[in-house]
């Protein structure tokens, strides 16, 4: 809290059903060890499982934070709902926490430290662990493959302290992140055309192009129930991931990488199929030929959806150019500097 008593941090929690997970998420926020009060903005995307009643009954008068509730009549997606949360808050820092994640007590204070005496830092990344196996890393910042597919840094690795250093990373995972209000005011929030998946990658890369950086804070620990929203084997999840991979590249990649996007994509598909044949990687998670066929159909549907949206993304490139602080050459260097190895991307199931 500033000396004038005003709140400086808000936490936005988007929820869609999953009442019990939401309760645990908010309970973790009541345990934050903070010197300053903070706001929590819950944006409900049309839950029908009693989540709203639970919120009003259990969290409307907690001492740890002031609760604000936004109710949507339908599921507007992760992007639109978070933008509503951004708009409903007026603090200098805004954090995101998934409703299927639980923050350790030092999370909020640790993330806030990323912005102290660092005016160029617009984003802070958490150390996200797998809830069911907290010795395993879910994400510690992000990496990207040159076809636009992004992956959490360290995903699936056992936590041996290899990511326990404060350092610059590409961008934070939207599951547990913090953003500077000044940055959001200048570049905008999430692109709502993405709906869900790769939305944090699009915002993060757009911010990097606009000259902002991201700091990873290993003391900001969150435990995440992976795949709780759509499920790890959801065809819709695969469609959105593939569609948004194409949209991300079309909107933000330098032309020097766009021209060779197809080659990188084919290389990744071939490596993925080889990994699946050995029961490794994401595709190996889908059993039998029917499961593999479902993956192929989901990817094709995602690509077809992306084609219909390409003209809109190409128009948005012009707006990004107005924000640009990094040259296309510098953006290419940034992407390749944070490139995930093909073997790691295709043989590790997250």
pLDDT digits (tens, 9 = 90+) for 38-84: 999 999 999 999 999 999 999 988 988 999 999 999 999 999 999 99
Sequence-separated (6 or more) residues with CB below 8 Å from residue 68: 39, 40, 41, 42, 88, 89
Tokens of 139: 């994400």
Q: Using DSSP, state whether 258 is helix, strand or coil.
A: helix
**Residue after which a domain boundary falls, among 67, 99, 131:** 99
Decide: helix, strand or coil at residue 251: helix
User: In the numeric block, which tokens belong to residue 149?
Assistant: 């597919």
What would the mean pLDDT of 13-32 be, rounded to a whole number?
96
Range in 58-67, 139-148, 182-191, 254-263 with the lowest mean pLDDT: 58-67
Say how many C-beta atoms besides its own lie within 10 A of residue 240's C-beta: 24
pLDDT at 21: 97
Relative orientation angle of helices 199-209 and 235-252, to the nearest 10 degrees = 10
Share of the chain above pLDDT 90, in %: 80
**The model's pTM:** 0.93
| Confidence check: pLDDT of 291 > 60 | yes
CA gap 310, 346 in Å, rounded: 26
What is the rounded CA–CA span in Å between residue 144 and residue 153?
9
| pLDDT recorded at residue 6 | 53
What total of structural domains would you count in the chain?
A: 2
pLDDT value at 2 more than 50: no
Residue 22 lies in a domain: yes
Q: How far apart are CA 173 and CA 151, in angstroms?
A: 9
> In the structure encoding, which two tokens stand for residue 320, read together?
């990004």
d(CA 220, CA 127): 6
Mean pLDDT for all residues in the chain: 92
Q: What is the CATH number of the domain that holds 88?
A: 3.90.550.10
pLDDT of the residue at 233: 58
Q: Is residue 25 part of a domain?
A: yes
Give the mean model confidence (pLDDT) for residues 199-221. Answer: 98
Mean pLDDT, to the nearest integer, of 197-205?
A: 96
* Interval 265-292 mean pLDDT: 77
Which residues are 167's β-sheet partners? 216
Q: What kind and span of H or E run contains 240? A: helix 235-252
> Average pLDDT in the 16-40 region?
95
Residue 148 belongs to some domain of the structure: no
DSSP readout, 288-335?
A: HHHHHHHHHHHHHHHHHHHHHHHHHHHHHHHHHHHH--S-HHHHHHHH
Which of 128-142, 182-196, 229-243 shows the lowest per-residue confidence on average (mean pLDDT)? 229-243
Domain boundary among 99, 130, 161: 99
311 assigned to some structural domain: yes
pLDDT band at 162, cuts 50/70/90? Answer: very high
Residue 2: phi and psi, rounded to 5, are -65, 165
Q: Give the residue-averaged pLDDT of 224-235.
A: 65
In a domain, 181, yes or no: no
Which DSSP string corresponds to 51-94? HHHHHHHHTTT-SSEEEEEEE-SS--HHHHHHHHHHHH---SEE
Q: Report whether 232 contacts 226 (CB < 8 A).
A: yes
Would 310 be classed as within a structural domain?
Answer: yes
- Which token pair is 298? 């989901």
Transcribe 91-152 into DSSP letters: -SEEEEE-TTEEE-TTHHHHHHGGGTT-TTEEEEEEEEEETTEEEEEEESSEEE-TTS-EEE
Show which of 71, 99, 127 is a domain's final residue.
Answer: 99
Least confident of 84-93, 180-189, 228-237, 319-328: 228-237
Residues with Cβ within 8 Å of 267's Cβ and at least 6 positions away in sequence, in order, are 342
What b/e readout covers 203-237, taking b as 16+ CB neighbours within 10 angstroms?
A: bbbbbbbbbbbbbbbbebbbbbbbebbeeeeebeb
Contact, 275 vs 281, CB < 8 A? yes
Domain assignment present for residue 262? The answer is yes
Q: Which residue range forms the structural domain that includes residue 91?
A: 1-99
Percent helix, strand and coil across the chain, each to the nearest 5: 45, 20, 35
Distance CA 245, CA 264 (A): 12
Look at residue 3 and tell me whether its pLDDT is greater than 50. Answer: no
**Is 214 among the domain residues?**
no
């Amino acid at each position: 809290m500033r000396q004038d008593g005003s709140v400086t941090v808000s936490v936005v929690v988007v929820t869609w059903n999953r009442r019990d997970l939401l309760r645990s998420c908010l309970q973790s926020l009541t345990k934050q060890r903070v010197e300053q009060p903070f706001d929590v903005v819950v944006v409900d995307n049309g839950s029908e499982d009693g989540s709203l009643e639970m919120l009003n009954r259990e969290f409307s008068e907690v001492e740890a934070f002031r609760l604000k509730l936004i109710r949507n009549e339908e599921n507007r997606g992760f992007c639109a709902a978070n933008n509503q949360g951004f708009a409903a808050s007026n603090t200098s820092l805004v954090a995101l926490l998934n409703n299927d994640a639980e923050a350790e007590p030092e999370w909020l204070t640790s993330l806030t430290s990323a912005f102290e005496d660092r005016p160029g830092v617009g984003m802070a990344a958490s150390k996200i662990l797998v809830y069911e196996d907290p010795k395993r890393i879910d994400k510690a910042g992000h990496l990207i493959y040159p076809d636009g597919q992004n992956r959490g840094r360290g995903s699936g690795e056992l936590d041996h302290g290899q990511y326990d250093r404060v350092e610059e990373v590409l961008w934070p995972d939207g599951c547990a992140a913090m953003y500077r209000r000044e940055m959001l005011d200048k570049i905008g929030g999430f692109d709502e055309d993405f709906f869900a998946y790769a939305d944090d990658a699009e915002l993060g890369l757009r911010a990097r192009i606009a000259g902002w950086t991201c700091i990873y804070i290993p003391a900001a620990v969150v435990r995440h129930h992976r795949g709780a929203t759509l499920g790890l084997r959801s065809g819709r999840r695969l469609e959105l991931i593939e569609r948004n991979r194409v949209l991300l590249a079309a909107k933000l990649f330098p032309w020097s990488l766009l021209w060779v996007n197809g080659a990188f994509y084919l290389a990744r598909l071939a490596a993925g199929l080889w990994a699946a044949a050995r029961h490794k990687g994401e595709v190996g998670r889908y059993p039998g030929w029917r499961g593999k066929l479902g993956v192929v159909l989901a990817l094709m549907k995602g690509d077809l959806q992306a084609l219909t949206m390409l003209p809109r993304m190409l128009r948005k490139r012009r707006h990004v150019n107005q924000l640009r602080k990094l040259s296309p050459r510098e953006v290419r260097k940034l992407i390749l500097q944070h490139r995930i190895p093909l073997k790691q991307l295709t043989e590790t199931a997250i």
